[in-house]
Structure 1
Amino acid sequence: MTFEEKLEQFAELAVRVGANIQKGQTMLINTTTETVEFTRLVAKKAYEAGAARVTVNFSDDVIDRAFYDNAPADEFAKFPRWISEQRDELIERGGALLWIDAQDPDNLTGVPVEKLSAQQKASGKALENYRDAVMNDKIAWSIIAVPSKKWAAKVFSDLKEEEQLPALWEAIFKTVHIGEGNAVDNWEQHLKNLDARADLLNAKRYQKLHYKAPGTDLTIELPDKHIWCTGASHTPAGSSFVANMPTEEVYTMPSKYGVNGFVSNTKPLVFQGNVIDQFKLTFEGGKIVKAEAEVGHDLLQELVKADEGSKYLGEVALVPHESPISASNILYYNTLFDENASNHLAIGEAYPTCYEGGSSLTKEELEEKGINTSITHEDFMIGSGEMDIDGVLADGTVEPIFRNGSWAF
């Protein structure tokens, strides 16, 4: 298969499997100036699938950095109203949202954490309605990524400059099952396999999970009505979509106040254009009571102080260590990929879709049931080939779920 053929399949996947554009639907694409040619191809595919209108918002790493370096101090606590209004209109019209990521993982390195934190809080508040729509699958949404020169240089720093971008393209193609046969058919089978794993976990009804690995000894209680989900979701109208491409996880929510112990990361977390690494979180009664990091310590403190909910967990995700992305031994410095190579957790808001009837509950009702709400949702990777996970049933029976980083059943 030629590079052009793979590119065509990737655009087709983004439109027909990721966002799953329906006839007459509007589509919003958020991306960077690094992706112009590919984004044009995606827009063309969306119109071929029946989209009524495709709108593209281009950001730019250089301009984004200029904002943080030069804007007046009070501007970081503000957020453009037109951005939230644009997304609100998309929600009202039942449109679909596609993110095409190509950002430089180090773009905002050195920016004072106070600026990053202020802007995060401002955007979190302004985009509350949008975040609610995404977390509750009220619209179709999907995130994919394509290479940029700076990102490729960081991932493949050992290669010659002219080899870096092609290497990252090929690596990404593999993660989204492009290269052998029909990619859409490959994804249909892949999602069936993930659904089968989620069905097994849902049948178990574990009350809690116990994680053990070097630097980790953590117990996580699960709500009585928790649901294990996969990357395949459905809008209220019944249209399917895949939020993350690639995806290798099955995930659910923790009981907000039922997390105790400590956990250490196994892959870097890229947050706000900065790397946070070699960190350890300690929990008591669900709350993060201590957060330590050798790299990005101050930014980690700001993350867990964004609001009250950012001091708690919102997601528990299982990914075997031998997943294709993990087996590639490539560190992507991009959560979309790295989280699908590793068991991971998320600081902040829980997906209401992981609780029976959760999507119909208000934030106050979710909190009453011990389900976390927050302006944040940041995944961080904790899995390795040395991790064991046990599941505890209602009668106290302990069963192995993971042994040495792999499924035990």
Structure 2
Amino acid sequence: MDNFNRNLEKYAELVIRIGVNLNKGQDLLVEAPIETLDLTRLIVQKAYEAGANYVHVHWQDDVVTRNKFDYASEDSMDYYPEWYTTMLERFVENGGALLNIKVPNPNLYDGIEASLISRASKAASTARAKYQHYVRTGEFSWCLIKAPTEAWASIVYADLPEEQRIPAMWDAIFKINRVYEENPVVAWQSHLDTLKATHSLLNERSYKALRYRATGTDLRVELPEGHIWLGGDNENARGVRYVANMPTEEVFTIPNRTGVSGTVASTMPLNINGALVDRFTFTFEAGKVVDFQAEVGYDHLARLLDMDEGARYLGEVALVPFDSPISNLNRIFYNTGIDENASCHLALGSCYPINLKDGTKLSNAELKARGGNSSLIHVDFMIGSAELEIDGELVDGTIEPIFRAGNWVLTF
């Protein structure tokens, strides 16, 4: 127990110092499931020790969330409180930082009609559009982290006795976040340097397109002129470095909105707003999803694609080697923030303007004209495997290998 408490404290300090990189005098908003009480209290302590001006905790609970769908009127699915979005916007504009302990429950909405989930999701996304713009343009420091809950651990470690599931989940979280290192902060700084070297080389290569091949996948993704590869930490509008997702193993950029063609098959299940979708494929023409299939969760996927006009286009392309810390655990976590860092992936919906030269200065129309995509959604789905091959197409037409057998073949 002493070792666990020390590791929990190291984790809390890590997410404050590396994740949001909290500065003296800043406000911090922590969004946390009520099951993560001990970790959340430590995070608040570490934030004040780092000089936080004020820390506010917004507690979340699956039972409360589910109650809306079980007992509220159907009309309430189309409502999202303006006062809450206004609070978030003012918080960002006043220089605050956000730390979200994001632990979605894949079974949360079992038995709920897909249409109700879709309506509630659209209402929230519409109301939070300005706030999400701040997120995607790097206006402020934000970080998503993970912590065990009984519902989540029982799905990921269903093969273990019940009393072993939470400890197993903590062990995995500590491993993938380098908490077991003697000095996790130093270990993370080294890791971020490695990711920087990776995306720096990709920016030097400035590929015109990427070509993917695997079972069920034959896809060409064009990259717009001025695209920027990023990965590891980002810089917010005030010049502060932060890590948006912990753990992180990816480097990512923006695809050309109308330059995607071919077919792609998923390699992991996808949790969409608490509903599971699995074994699905997309067919793209001129950037748009024109056909799709799903063996599990077809209705949920269909409603996601119909969320708005931009939902059928890609907003992100990300590269992650198959031989990586999370993938080597050989476990599906049913949590996009972890699974996307075990696998190459793409994202439907809105792009990150930070991935385009001067992109944060562009209107949605200007962004679209330069190849970016705008949407209410941004949903990552995993396509990586041990057989994935990726080639880079240079401006002069030269083709060179980037991935073979799921791993890098470029020399960094």
| TM-score category of the 2 structures, normalised to the smaller one | over 0.9
**Aligned residue in 1 for 2:239:** 238
Distance 1:345 1:314 in 2: 8
**Aligned residue in 2 for 1:103:** 104
Secondary structure at the residue paired with 1:322? coil
1:146 aligns with 2:129: no
**Aligned residue in 2 for 1:72:** 73
Distance 1:95 1:291 in 2: 40
Say if 1:103 and 1:148, in contact at 8 Å, map to a contact too.
no
Give RMSD over aligned pairs.
Answer: 0.9
**Aligned residue in 2 for 1:55:** 56
Secondary structure at the residue paired with 1:189? helix
Instruction: Summarize the alignment of residues 164-179 of structure 1 with structure 2, pairs less than 5 Å apart.
Output: 164-179=165-180
**Aligned residue in 1 for 2:18:** 17
Distance 2:191 2:208 in 1: 28
**Per-residue deviation at 1:181?**
1.2
**Per-residue deviation at 1:92?**
1.4
**Per-residue deviation at 1:402?**
0.3
Secondary structure at the residue paired with 2:231? coil
**Aligned residue in 2 for 1:408:** 409
Secondary structure at the residue paired with 2:341? helix
Distance 1:114 1:320 in 2: 36
* Segments of 4+ moved more than 4 angstroms: none
**Aligned residue in 2 for 1:288:** 289
**Aligned residue in 1 for 2:371:** 370
Distance 2:279 2:272 in 1: 14
Amino acid at match of 1:13: L
Secondary structure at the residue paired with 1:99? strand
Secondary structure at the residue paired with 1:395? coil
**Aligned residue in 1 for 2:213:** 212
The C-alpha deviation readout for 1:288-339, integer Å capped at 9, x for no partner, is 0012100000000011110001010000000000011001101111001100
Distance 2:51 2:114 in 1: 44
Distance 1:220 1:307 in 2: 22
**Per-residue deviation at 1:231?**
2.7
**Aligned residue in 1 for 2:183:** 182
**Aligned residue in 2 for 1:258:** 259
Secondary structure at the residue paired with 1:2? helix
Distance 1:305 1:31 in 2: 30
**Aligned residue in 1 for 2:324:** 323
**Per-residue deviation at 1:352?**
0.3
Instruction: Summarize the alignment of residues 292-303 of structure 1 with structure 2, pairs less than 5 Å apart.
Output: 292-303=293-304
**Aligned residue in 2 for 1:227:** 228
Say if 1:147 and 1:168, in contact at 8 Å, map to a contact too.
yes
Amino acid at match of 1:40: R
Say if 2:322 and 2:342, in contact at 8 Å, map to a contact too.
yes
Secondary structure at the residue paired with 1:219? strand
Distance 2:125 2:108 in 1: 21
Distance 2:104 2:379 in 1: 17
**Aligned residue in 1 for 2:39:** 38
Say if 1:153 and 1:161, in contact at 8 Å, map to a contact too.
yes
**More deviation in 102-111 or 82-91?**
102-111
**Per-residue deviation at 1:173?**
0.4
Say if 2:208 and 2:223, in contact at 8 Å, map to a contact too.
yes
**Per-residue deviation at 1:129?**
1.1
Say if 2:140 and 2:238, in contact at 8 Å, map to a contact too.
no
Say if 2:103 and 2:335, in contact at 8 Å, map to a contact too.
no
Amino acid at match of 1:77: D
Distance 1:53 1:25 in 2: 7
Instruction: Summarize the alignment of residues 304-315 of structure 1 with structure 2, pairs less than 5 Å apart.
Output: 304-315=305-316
Secondary structure at the residue paired with 1:300? helix
Distance 1:139 1:125 in 2: 20
Distance 1:350 1:104 in 2: 25
**Per-residue deviation at 1:160?**
0.8
Secondary structure at the residue paired with 2:326? helix
Say if 1:34 and 1:102, in contact at 8 Å, map to a contact too.
no
Distance 2:151 2:195 in 1: 33
**Per-residue deviation at 1:235?**
1.1
**Per-residue deviation at 1:187?**
0.2
1:357 aligns with 2:362: no
Instruction: Summarize the alignment of residues 384-399 of structure 1 with structure 2, pairs less than 5 Å apart.
Output: 384-399=385-400
Amino acid at match of 1:156: Y
Amino acid at match of 1:24: G
1:347 aligns with 2:348: yes
| Count of aligned pairs between the two proteins | 409
Say if 1:137 and 1:236, in contact at 8 Å, map to a contact too.
yes
Secondary structure at the residue paired with 2:171? helix
**Per-residue deviation at 1:14?**
1.1
Say if 1:35 and 1:102, in contact at 8 Å, map to a contact too.
no
Say if 2:348 and 2:380, in contact at 8 Å, map to a contact too.
yes
**Per-residue deviation at 1:143?**
0.1
When normalised by structure 1's length, the TM-score is 0.99
**Per-residue deviation at 1:408?**
1.0
**Per-residue deviation at 1:215?**
0.6
Distance 1:266 1:291 in 2: 15
**Per-residue deviation at 1:180?**
2.1
When normalised by structure 2's length, the TM-score is 0.98
Say if 2:271 and 2:335, in contact at 8 Å, map to a contact too.
yes
Distance 1:200 1:23 in 2: 34
Distance 1:231 1:263 in 2: 26
Distance 1:50 1:408 in 2: 44
Amino acid at match of 1:305: D
Distance 1:213 1:254 in 2: 20
Distance 1:227 1:136 in 2: 13
Distance 2:69 2:213 in 1: 40
**Per-residue deviation at 1:103?**
3.4
Amino acid at match of 2:224: P
Distance 1:120 1:152 in 2: 25
Identity %: 46
Distance 2:112 2:26 in 1: 39
Amino acid at match of 1:26: D
Say if 1:266 and 1:278, in contact at 8 Å, map to a contact too.
yes
